Structures are given as C-alpha cells and as structure tokens.
Structure 1
C-alpha cells in the first residue's frame, strides 16, 4: 500500500508498472565519480515482479528485494500513457534478447570523454542524420552499463526516436542524467529498504520535483 511519510510518497513493489525506471540510492557511494547524489544505479521494471538491470554480473533479471540488498532506497520514475501494450511487449523482447550480455566495465572511465564529444556539435549531428550522413544510434550492444541499458530499452521501444537518440546516446548517460530528463518519466515515489527507513533530507528528488 502506498503511504505518505514525512510528506514524501512511499510506495511498495506492487505499485510498479512495466516501463517504470528504478533509480537506486546508496549513501556510501556518494564519493564515487558519477554518484555524487547517491543515485548510482538504474534499472527498468518489466512487470510480474521482474526488473531488468546490468551490474557487475552482466545483464540480468532481478527483483526489488535483490536491488534493496545493495541499496538504501529506490526512486521510481514513471511515464504516464507512454508504455502501450506494444511497447511493453517490445521491452520484454528487448530483455529476452539481452539477458546474459556482459557489463560495460569500460563505461565509467570513458564516459566524461564521450559526453564531451557528444555535446560538441549536436545540431550538426541532427542535420547530418536527416541528410542521411549520420549513422543511427544502436540500441543493441554487446555490453551495457546500467543507465546505458535503460536508455537503450527506451530507444528500442520507440519512446526515444531514432533522431532523438543522437541527443540521448546511451553510453553518455549516468543514472542522475536519467533522473533529470522527463523523457524517462516523472518522480512517482520511493521504495525504502525497510519500513522505518527515513529518506535523507537532502535527497535529490526532494528538491527537484
């Protein structure tokens, strides 16, 4: 059952819907590059209690309970009326095609360079795309970082169009980037590690929704 705690929306796993993005928070990770907000992992809900994620073990299905073994709480983002039955089916097909692929261990060391290259001249890339001179962004890859996997799922399902994918290159996005962009949804609620857990007062979503 959903409930309001300290004026925050706290939900349970039964409130999740296919396509919901799950961003995982761990206070102990805030000193790590890219995890300054504490949000350092992204996953996507498939339905029927199953979550698609990529971690050090590779691309796999897991559960809310599995994620909360390693993280303090989950912030859920939802795109209302975006995930049609056809897109949900595409998401599940995407998952079935990618289960077992390896974790992109090279992502973090290279992500800042890739981000810089990506923003140097994005408008020219779009011009080149519509002129037939640019290669479309591939959603199907051999390895995936967590947020790279979620972004690729949105591209594969057609929520991020082929041309828009030039601005949402999966290899350039960190979990906090997903939190900041409404294409991935709006904040829906928190799933805490335990019933007496208190969402930190400086949690990113508390001041950015």
Structure 2
C-alpha cells in the first residue's frame, strides 16, 4: 500500500489534504456531497511543523500535530520541482500578511461552489479569449476571505507556480480539496500521515494505490 510518513518528512510548500472522519461536521458533509471527494479540507505546510489553513473561524496557522488530531488521516502532495528559498519566503510572507489582515472564511464561496464551478467550466473559452485580447480582469489572490482550498490555490498563484494565463484555468474560487489532489500542478502524492501509529488507511481512499512522489522522482529510495 501507499507509504505512511512522519511529520519530519514534510517540506515547506507541501499540500495537506484532510480526509473526513466519523465526527466531521455539517459543512464537511456538504463539501463531500458537492465535490464527490472524501477529502474535505486543505492546508499548506509552511515549515517548523506549521500548517496555514482557512477555517470557519478565519485564516489561521496550526501545528501539524493538531491538524492530524482533527482527521483520521491526511494525504500529502509535493511539487516535483520543489520550492526554492525565494518561493518559500514569498509563501511565508503571503501567509503572514493575510493573517495580519484577519481574512475571514468564504462561506458564500462554499455554498455557491457547485453553480460557480459549472459556470466557470461553461464560460472557460470566453474567459481565455478575454484574457488574450486584454479585456479580462484578472482576479487577485489577495482577498479578504478564502475557503480552504481557495487559499491553497492562491498560494500557488502568488508564488508563481501558476502564471497569469493559467490562473484563468485555475480559478481558485472553483477549486475543491479533491481537485488539488488530482492535479499535478499542486504536486504529486507523497504519502499519508495519521496521529494514530496503528492506523490503516482505508482501501477505498482514492490515493491508496497511487504512485508516490518517491516512486516517480526517487525510484531508488
């Protein structure tokens, strides 16, 4: 099966996708229903055992250990070209400034997610045409509210992994936690983490049989 990781294995810029648990709340259930994924939350690891995440209480930072306590397990994703020092500094600066601005949770974005995503997909060609003819007003990643995966996607836009033209395709307001796990733009599956040393990842987990980042980029390990 896919490998289990330890906290020390994570690097700045790794994406943390959180799997539902038996106690997850009504919002988590709604996210699962709309997105068709058991991964109902996303955060980004910024180093020093800290995860930046947008919670219903607003944008915050939390220790990785405490994030793990809230979920049965999490799946970790890593870019193949890694995060160099300049991008890590930019990520941390962005997180710091957004925390200072006291960003709230984007409840309306969650509740309208399904219709917004459908509209985005239906008008994608028009949006791209508008971008290339200069009439498209590019959405800023600097906002006063985010839902969880929206914030993670905007971290990738701010740090330059997603360029302006691609940002039309990768509109952060219509990216769900499960979408992040299925798109190599945000990284390849690295492995799982759980606070329970005896935990076994369910075989129905969508990444259970996936090739890991190590299988692809470090096959000798």
TM-score (norm 1): 0.92
Normalized per residue, the structure richer in helix is 2
Give the superposition deviation at 1:208.
4.7
CA distance, structure 1, for counterparts of residue 183 and residue 116 of structure 2: 18
Distance in 1 (CA, whole Å) between partners of 2:52 and 2:80 is 19
Secondary structure of 1:76 counterpart: strand
Please give the alpha-carbon distance, in whole angstroms, between the structure 1 residues aligned to 2:71 and 2:87.
29
| Match runs of 1:19-168 below 5 Å | 19-28=13-22, 29=24, 32-35=29-32, 36-99=36-99, 100-168=102-170
For structure 1, the 5+ residue unaligned runs are 1-6
Uncovered stretches (5+) of structure 2, i.e. residues with no partner: 212-221
Normalising by structure 2, we get a TM-score of 0.87
Question: How has the CA–CA distance of structure 1 residues 61 and 148 changed in structure 2, closer, same or farther, with 3 Å as cutoff?
Answer: same
Runs of 4+ in structure 1 displaced over 4 angstroms?
A: none
1:30-69: CA deviation from partner (whole Å, max 9, x where unpaired): 9823324321000001011111101112101111111122
Residues of 1 paired with 2:188 and 2:129: CA distance?
Answer: 30
Count of matched residue pairs: 203
Cα deviation digits, residues 61-106 of structure 1 (max 9, x gap):
1111111221111100000224121111110011011113111111
Q: 2:94–2:155: 8 Å Cα contact kept in structure 1?
A: yes
